[in-house]
Amino acid sequence: MNIIGISAFYHDSAACLVRDGEIVAAAQEERFTRKKHDFHFPTNAVEYCLKEAGVNAEGIDYVGFYDKPFIKFERILYSYLAYAPFGIRSFFKSIPLWIKQKLFIRDIVKKKIGFKGDVLFPEHHESHAASAFYPSPFSDAAILTIDAVGEWTTTSYGIGEENQIQILSELKFPHSLGLLYSAFTYYTGFKVNSAEYKVMGLAPYGEPRYVDTILNELIDLKEDGSFKLNMKYFNYCTGLTMTNSRFSKLFDGPPSKPESGITQREMDLARSIQIVTEEVVQRMANHVYKETGKKNLCLAGGVALNCVSNGKLLREGPFENLWIQPAAGDAGGALGVALLIWYEYLSNDREVKEAKSMQKASYIGNHYEDKEIEDFLTKEGSHFEKLKTDEIPSIVAELIAGENVIGWFEGRMEFGPRSLGSRSIIGDPRSKEMQSVMNVKIKYRESFRPFAPSVLKEHVSDYFDMDCESPYMLLVANIKDEKKIKMSGDEERLFGLEKLKVARSDVPAITHVDYSARIQTVSREDNPLFYSVIEEFYKKTGCPMVVNTSFNVRGEPIVCRPEEAYKCFMRTGMDYLIMGSYLLDKKRQKPLEDDIDWQKEFEPD
């Protein structure tokens, strides 16, 4: 039984193939088209999934689309009518796309795939809930989904038991935590639906100066986590912007212009909305726990990618265990709808392996054999050395210990926004210069952005206030006190980006200015080669982790194919590249013939 799940036409289009309940393949369309957050029909992702499964369109039994387009269209029309005549420009911009395309998704899906069967349409938050619960290691759990908006729903909670999901309660548009956070993303000069994680990363540099203003003016927050937004400050129902002039007056001026530089105001705004978000999520979780009585919680929706909020929820409870869908945004809806069809629509039994997710550590994307890689490198005329598999860990660990930055292209690509040790750039976390070097010379991105540690699972509690697994880089925890470096009085008085100059722990490259880190735990079972590299680095240095950031530059999707990895390696300050069995030294490569300035080439994300 082969089931295709599809997410498309909003942002982060993706496809997934489930066979007899097993996740065979999943990928985001952006990785193939090289258009970040590509929203078009995931033609390439579907083609990859079919190829990975070894089937064609005739071999597909069901196709599911991740939401109900007609209900979403109803919400959009209703919103325009409710605010008329305001929003007429936005109306004329969006409606033609619906008339030409989005109302005919069933026909588009059949035509694009060549599928002759029926297409099923669950609700958006059902797909999110399914993506959270079904891959989880829990036979029963509470489910909380929080995003911008689906059809009408912006937040939902329910329960999952065995092979069934039940949604118990919902919050409706326009009252949305995801849209509130995106409003501040827009207002601080970042791109909505793309750069919310920048606001989260910027928050520790600021002061909570606007928390009371947000709680008193923007959001009427109840004890159970439900809320209403004061819509007189927002423009997203019908406008072309997220906020309006009243919002600007409330927060001391107009929205920041993109690329205009970070000021203390942006830092304070980021800190304030982050604190409010954490409070809302905590109250929601407390209520869901009280109503369901479950000890396990599954999370999905774009807000579930807020790893700072997740970390706080894990520390403060009330749930004993969390499982967060690694592709928590709309891309994960493709996976959710496929599993929903298998379990709920077709009534198949669900077998749960104790403490083991069925998502294969999210290594469910495409991969390349050595011959394909060697053929490309030979054609490119590059200089490379072929290593034996058992040589790779020791050689790469030695290079990292020498403070070299390594492009790491191994195995199946990750599904979701995080690089987890397949398409990664890795380095030495002990280096005081590594954070700056990787941001400015390799990633070409803002200097304030933190980097994550990939740490051996068995040693996570040696460095961090955490004693559980975090395989998807979706939990933030603090550095242990004994690993911190005490600051001087002058250092403690530093403000804003000046805080970057201070080394705060024994592993400064991964320690954020608030002594936190976004952690990935690595197990030998999930990724034996990556684990072995970190293990060898630990043997050489006594440090059981490496810096891990996504293999891309700002504004570009994570690399997918060998040619993209090679070009990214050549056009940045990386020192070495390892692809499959092949090691490349930057100093021994000839310059690219079509070289470009990547700092100028890509749009800010």
Higher pLDDT pick, 488 / 206? 206
CB neighbour burial string for 329-338, b if at least 16 within 10 angstroms, e if fewer: bbbbbbbbbb
The angle at the Cα of 336, spanning 2 to 276, to the nearest 5 degrees, equals 170
- The pLDDT assigned to 85 comes to 65
Query: What's the whole-number mean pLDDT along residues 251-262?
Result: 89
Token duo for residue 363: 């290594």
Please tell me the least confidently modeled range out of 287-301, 342-356, 438-452, 552-566: 438-452
For residue 58, the 8-state DSSP code is G
Mean pLDDT of all residues in 325-352: 97
CA nearest to 82, candidates 174, 218, 175, 181: 174
Mean pLDDT of the chain: 92
pLDDT of residue 75: 86
Please say whether the beta carbons of 164 and 130 come within 8 A.
no
Least confident of 297-301, 502-506, 564-568: 502-506
Sheet holding 164-172, edge to edge: 164-172, 153-161, 140-146, 296-300, 321-324
Lowest mean pLDDT among 265-274, 349-358, 455-464, 588-597: 588-597
373-385 pLDDT tens trace: 999 999 999 999 9
Q: In whole angstroms, give the CA distance from residue 490 to residue 499.
A: 11
User: Where does 370-601 sit in CATH, by number?
Assistant: 3.90.870.20
- 321 burial (CB, 10 Å; 0-12 / 13-18 / 19+) is middle
Which of the four pLDDT bands, split at 50, 70 and 90, describes residue 602? Answer: very low
Say what the pLDDT of residue 604 is.
Answer: 45
pLDDT score, position 596:
57
Tell me if residue 436 falls in helix, strand or coil: helix
605 pLDDT band (50/70/90 cuts)?
A: very low
* pLDDT category of residue 59 using cuts at 50, 70 and 90: very high
Give tens-digit pLDDT for 134-172. Answer: 999 999 999 999 999 999 999 999 999 999 999 999 999
| Structure confidence at residue 593 (pLDDT) | 76
pLDDT at 455: 98
Q: Is 121 helix (H, G, I), strand (E, B) or coil?
A: coil
357 or 453, which is more confident?
Answer: 453
Query: What pLDDT sits at residue 84?
Result: 66
Confidence of residue 333 (pLDDT cuts 50, 70, 90): very high
Asked whether the predicted pLDDT for residue 501 surpasses 90, the reply is: no
Q: How far is it, in rounded angstroms, from Cα 182 to Cα 411?
A: 34
Average pLDDT over residues 55-82: 89
d(C-alpha 521, C-alpha 468), whole Å: 9
228: confidence class by pLDDT, cuts 50, 70, 90: very high
Q: Annotate 240-288 with DSSP letters as a single string.
A: SSSB-HHHHHHTTSSPPPTTS---HHHHHHHHHHHHHHHHHHHHHHHHH
Is the pLDDT confidence value at 182 over 50? yes
pLDDT score at 498: 73
pLDDT band at 10 (very low <50, low <70, confident <90, very high): confident
pLDDT at 598 exceeding the cut of 60 = no
What is the structure's pLDDT at 17? 98
What's residue 68's pLDDT? Answer: 93
Return the minimum-mean-pLDDT range out of 27-31, 162-166, 595-599. 595-599
pLDDT at 594: 65
Closest CA to 271 of 217, 212, 180, 208: 208
pTM of the complete model: 0.94
